[in-house]
Amino acid sequence: MNNPIFAPVIVLAGWSMLIMIWMLAARISAVQKLGKPLPAKPGMRGVDMEGVLPDKANWPGHNYNHLMEQPTVFYAVAIILALAGGSGLDAQLAWGYTGLRVVHSLVQATSNNVNVRFPIWGLGSIVLIVMTVRAAMLVF
């Protein structure tokens, strides 16, 4: 089955993988610049690097976590729209959401300016709400 809504789904999944690589590169570079090993402890997670690594080295990791949160709803809704007969408007909304998430990522991973980032997140959330309502109208 080929549906136009699958393209933005794959693009956002691919973008998430690029952010994962960016996160790893930023953290590895920051650890190397420390000149000493990280204080390792059993069960250490990325969040344990807060306060150890510079903030800017952690921002891509914060964004990666965000891409594992709200976009999971996007993936489910987009697939429902594809299977339930969504329209071209749904594909456009999916592209809009994907574009906003990419812009949000770039802001968060570089400047992390919340005054810029929050409205982008808010607009993306509105798009996702519209997609969810449209999917519900097809299903119910």
**pLDDT by 10s per residue, the chain, length 140:** 689 999 999 999 999 999 999 999 999 999 899 888 777 778 778 788 888 899 999 999 999 999 999 999 999 999 999 999 999 999 999 999 999 999 999 999 999 999 999 999 999 999 999 999 999 999 99
- Tell me what pLDDT residue 12 has: 98
Q: Which residues pair with 53 in a beta bridge?
A: 50
User: Does the domain made of 6-139 have the CATH classification 1.20.120.550?
Assistant: yes
- Full-model pTM: 0.93
Q: Are 36 and 90 a contacting pair, CB within 8 Å?
A: no
- Tell me what pLDDT residue 7 has: 97
Per-position DSSP letters for 23-73, written without gaps between them: HHHHHHHHHHHHTS-----TT--GGGGBTTB-HHHHHHHHHHHHHTSHHHH
